Structure 1
Amino acid sequence: MNIFVLNSGSSSIKYQLIDLDTEEVLARGLVERIGEPGQVPDHQAGIAAVLTSLGDARIDAIGHRVVHGGDRFDRAVIVTDEVEAAIEELSVLAPLHNPANLTGIRAARAAMPGVPNVVVFDTAFHQTLDAAAYTYAIPADLAREYGIRRYGFHGTSHKYVSERAAAFLGRPLEQLKIIVLHIGNGASATAIDGGRSIDTSMGMTPLEGLVMGTRSGDLDPAVVLELQRRAGLSVDEVDDVLNKRSGLLGLSGYSDERDVQKAAVEGDEAAEVALSLYRHRIRHYVGAYAAQLRGLDAIVFTGGVGENNTLVRRRVLRGLEFMGVHVDPDRNEVASKSERRISPDNWPVSVLVIPTNEELEIARQTAALI
């Protein structure tokens, strides 16, 4: 079965064609700058160009990444007109993402009317959170009216990585207590108990939680009020500051963790402070989630930084030996793209590096539905 996986942005289409029988990627690519002068005019034309490049390759189904499913979708669903309408309604919760995702869905349905389409939501995996984990302590009527609650994101990655971790350890997922650290330019932590997400660091939007490349992460809400009252910033300006000008960028001038690390090594004090805060916040969530899980079997690093940065992994978990957590320095330094253990064999908590594969997870969920 060949699954065509699409991730549509506002001006781009990222795609993979995956043979699920072998899990081989038959084709992959990226269409960029859609709508710009001299480029592909729209998503319909972009998908047509992709299909032309694929030639006579068979496509049995199309799987789409959609960022926000609100509290309506706790699993992948086959696309219908009603599902399209629901995604459009939920755009108020993800105005930068859902409309772009929906544009790709509509273009794909128009281009291949006989092929089933499936949407996989970033938020769906976290719909198992209890009310205590997803509720904000604001007036309940306001929360209900405006859909204000914690939803969580990166769910497709957290689901895939936790299942791969269980397979690596040779233990049933239902028996494991796992913390997954998806650390890239965007970053989130999730506590997974028996395969269920019970807590996660991102909230109503991807802004909450860990310090990220350009996002602030956790913040006293009064900071927003101060920026409006004293700095005279508008709502949109505050949004821009917290989402695009904060995080590592705001602290050090660099959004890429590798650049921050290099600057810190060269004696840049601001960069060193940024890295310390970055690691402090991750360690904070590790401790909190170990408590929520009431035990811990594994910590799993994934994402661009989590998979590749040996220093971040070592520094984040340094000093947690009292929790049964230890990183073997030799194993940690091994450069590899494979799933691997970086803790000693005989320690209570397994520390793993599991490369994420959201496209494959989307393909699997798509195939399971059709």
Structure 2
Amino acid sequence: MSTPESGDAALLGQYVTIVNTSRADVNGTVGLCKTFLPEKQRYAIHTCSSLFPPTEAIMNLKVENISPAGMMACKIASYKMQAVDQFKDPQMKEAVKAFSLMLRELESFLAAYGLTTRTFFGVIFGLLSVHFYFRGLMKTMMLFFLIYYPIMFALPDIRMKKPPVQIIRNIPNNIAAQVAAATGKTIPVWAVSGMFVLIWGMGAKVIFSPASAATVASRGAIPAAELDKAYAMGFDDGSAGKPYGTSFSASPASADGVFDDSPVAPPAPSSPFNFSNFMSVGLLVKFVYDAGSDGAGGWNPIFIVPNVKANPMKAMVPAFSLYRIFKAFTG
């Protein structure tokens, strides 16, 4: 490929739309002009497929078969080309292979029950949509991750088709094994079990507990279902000529603050056993564990002071965590 001459490569580096070719499946495709071939008076257009993973194709076209693409088409095409570059990375290729293997295993597992992956993901999407409508976005995201991560850690046992009770019991062992494989640090299974139960318990409490009046009034944390009820009540009150808020105050939901538009009361004193303090305890425990690491996957308290002295900046966040915990219990 030779270097383009002056005036012959005005579209180099631009995204163009392919037009007026004999192939209907190619017309309308957006690609990037990367090279100009002066001996053939053609551009080498790099296009990207819409398949997964995306692949790159090169077509040599005349000037009359291309035209500058619109702004939105350029953005979409640039994202596709970036995806092509990403999927050329060896780590991404391995991730795609692992995902494809997991998808095939899921297909074979569901086929035994007469289901397809499309049906399975459709049901999951429907359940999450219903939960989102009644419980809100944040609780739906929390529910998704509370279910997703245990399944990922239990995947080795699921592939071996072990009994459900054994799969659940092995989740802490799998977590500890994967952490050791990724970081080289050994974590006791009892510590993983305790953290797993703590996170799941706190997550379940947040998901299934109704929001307090102060929380709803300050953040507008009202599910879509409750908003529909509120609009319906307001419309019925207006149609019947009742004073504003008559149905709101009579509704049981007003006890939770959902339909309460009164001024927000001062916040009650927070309990020392709240989420923020639990996070502070977790950061402090992680810091102590990292500081006592002997570099060979073990832990020894005699290494804490030397490691802290070697890198005192790492102690700043744990120091604030310690202060927060001390303040929570001393008032």
TM-score higher than 0.5: no
Q: Greater relative contact order: 1 or 2 (C-alpha under 8 angstroms, separation 6 or more)?
A: 1
Give TM-score, length-normalised by structure 1: 0.26
Q: Which has the larger radius of gyration?
A: 2
Q: Say which structure is richer in strand.
A: 1
Q: Say which structure is richer in helix.
A: 2
